[in-house]
Amino acid sequence: MRKRKHGGGRRRRALGHTVPYRSCVACRRSAPAAALVRFARAPDGAVLPDVAASARGRGAWTCPSAGCVTRALERGGFERAFQAPVLGAPATLVQTVQRALAQAGSSLVAELAATLEGKDFSPGRLAHPRGRA
């Protein structure tokens, strides 16, 4: 029988993070979950954007940029995150993501992309003097 850990998120609270953080499967940058796009895998292996972040099951998160979505498809980031093979062409998935984000609110997406540009939101880098988590 495994012993359960009793942390309760003390480290996250000590750093002042009150929102959940997720990591991009392409560039490995950590950011608040609201600043990233969630993807879900359909049973047939297709990868679909889950802008509302409400689909059941395992999810994969990327930055709201075409480069990160393409990189995740080409370098196997989605396969690692879903622990299963995925189907999808980078061009069609990028277009689908852009359409879904435009419907969700283009001003919000532009603001999030500007916030992420050139910044590292990783809470682990703030906590450890050598930059390790």
Name all domains of the chain by residue range, CATH numbers in brackets.
18-106 (3.30.1230.10)
What is the residue-wise DSSP string for 1-65?
-PPPP--TTHHHHHTT--S-EEE-TTT--EEEGGGSEEEEE-TTSBEEEETT---SS-EEEE-SS
Between CA 122 and CA 115 the distance in angstroms is: 14
Mean pLDDT, rounded, for 104-126? 47
Residue 89: its pLDDT value, please? 72
Residue 116: its pLDDT value, please? 45
pLDDT tens per residue across span 2-38: 666 666 667 777 777 778 889 999 999 988 898 898 9
pLDDT tens per residue across span 37-87: 899 988 888 888 887 888 888 899 999 888 898 899 889 999 999 998 888
Q: Which two tokens stand for residue 48?
A: 């679909």
Between CA 79 and CA 99 the distance in angstroms is: 23
Residue 94: its pLDDT value, please? 80
Mean pLDDT score of the chain: 75
